[in-house]
Chains A and B, each alone.
Chain A
Amino acid sequence: MQDKQIVDLYWARSEDAIRQTEIKYGKMLYSVSYSLTSSSRDSEECVNDTYLQAWKRMPTDRPDMLGAYLAKITRALSVDRVRRETAEKRGGAGAVTEELSELIPSDFSMDEHIDNEALKQALDGFIKSLDKQKRVVFVKRYFFCLDIETICAQTGLGKSAVKTMLMRMREKLGNKLREEGLL
């Protein structure tokens, strides 16, 4: 079924919307969650929570790209779950958060209020500035929290190429955030 038809089902408050979502995106959402939680049970729960969230948000929202929309919900729920249960020491989310912290100086002081919207815009701008291959690698690592081997398999790149690419992108992102006064 096409995304638009599934979204229409949500808007029509048809319970078939969730069944069709599960058929089309269930496996993908599970893998997104599993990359972050490393737990089958948690992943299944996060996926079910995703359906519930989607049911609540639509009809207000009308996403053009339903898969991406749902993946974002699953990711947020999975990250929350990992933080709650294990203080971020378990699963891909913890490792990725640690990796992102590498671009932050150790003496960083968050005295000032960080403007969330400005941070989001800076990040979107940074991602936009990357070429397609780098962008995909960045999103696969820091959004989907995939491990390096999986990224290599999905992009056809070598392990060292991906690692180097990620390291340079982190440096570039750090520079951009500093330039914009967000770091």
Chain B
Amino acid sequence: MTDKEKYAKKLMDTVGEIDDKYVYEAQNYTPKKRMPGYIKAIIAAAASVFLIVSVSFPVMVGVLLRKGNYSSNDVNVTPAYQMEQSMSKSDAETYKTLPKMTGAALIWRTAGGGYSCVPISEAKAESIIESIGEGGEKPVQDDGTRIWIRTDNGEFVSPHLKRSPGNVDCAVFEYSPETAISDEAARMIAKIINERN
């Protein structure tokens, strides 16, 4: 018998003398129950649905925002690039004559369909924006007038909607005829228009 065989025997004998607790442990070992296949399938399916929804929801919202179908505070969003498309032919022609807007401005459409644009200070734009939502909802006659405030940062804010991430740099909010602006905002806007005239 070689030394290797002798040592292997010795090792085999020594394994036979290991602590009782290890022998007991191996004798009484019960493997953890494996999760049945159908449970795994259900969990996988649920995880997939969750993943799809969690990824697609923000994307969908973004797409809707761009398509103008997103409704926040019951208003429709019209992307800036669709602004002209949504106008009548004559309105669009007038709209094109507006000076290029590079800073804060007040833009309005009169009941007759003419568009006007007045540059205003950023502070003025901010103060109008701050107060436009405070008038609450009350029935007003829709005579076709529309007003937007453009900020220095390129935001378009309609009088009935406070600023939100959705309207930054990408959209002009349509005017909601049911929503009136606050008296303070109306006073400030009227003052700007009157000064221009």
Give every chain B residue within 8 A of A142 (Cβ-Cβ): 12, 15
* CB-defined contacts of B6 to chain A, threshold 8 Å: 110
**Interface residues of A, dominant DSSP:** helix
- Tell me the minimal C-beta distance from B155 to chain A in angstroms: 59
Segment at the interface with A among B20-28, B49-57, B74-82, B113-121: B20-28
Q: Which of chain B's residues has its CB closest to A137's CB? A: B26
Across-interface contacts of A28 in B (CB, < 8 A): 27
A41 at interface by CB-CB < 8 Å: no
- Tell me whether A100 is interfacial, beta carbon within 8 Å: yes
- What separation, in Å, do the CA atoms of A127 and B11 have in the docked complex? 13
Q: With A114-B7, A120-B17, A143-B15 given, is the CB distance from A65 to B29 under 8 Å?
A: no
Q: Which residue of B lies closest to A118 (CB)?
A: B14
Name the residue of chain B whose CB is nearest to the CB of A83.
B9
Given that A104-B7, A143-B18 are known contacts, is A132 also in contact with B12, CB under 8 Å in the complex? Answer: no
Q: Which of B8, B21, B23 contacts A104 (CB 8 A)?
A: B8
- A143 x B14 contact (CB < 8 A): no
CA separation between A143 and B14, bound complex, in Å?
9
Complex interface: chain A residues within 8 A of B34 (CB): 156
For chain B, what secondary structure do more than half of its interface residues adopt (helix, strand, loop), or is it mixed?
helix
A181 → chain B, closest Cβ, in Å? 13
Q: Interface size for chain A: under 10, 10 to 19, 20 to 34, or 35 or more residues? A: 35 or more
Q: A81 contacts the other chain (Cβ, under 8 Å)?
A: no
B20 touches A65 (CB 8 A): yes
Choose the segment among A10-18, A69-77, A160-168 that binds chain B (4+ C-beta atoms closer than 8 Å): A69-77
Q: Which residue of A lies closest to B26 (CB)?
A: A139
Q: List 10 A-B contacts (CB under 8 A).
A: A65-B24, A68-B23, A69-B20, A97-B9, A100-B11, A108-B7, A110-B7, A127-B18, A139-B25, A156-B31
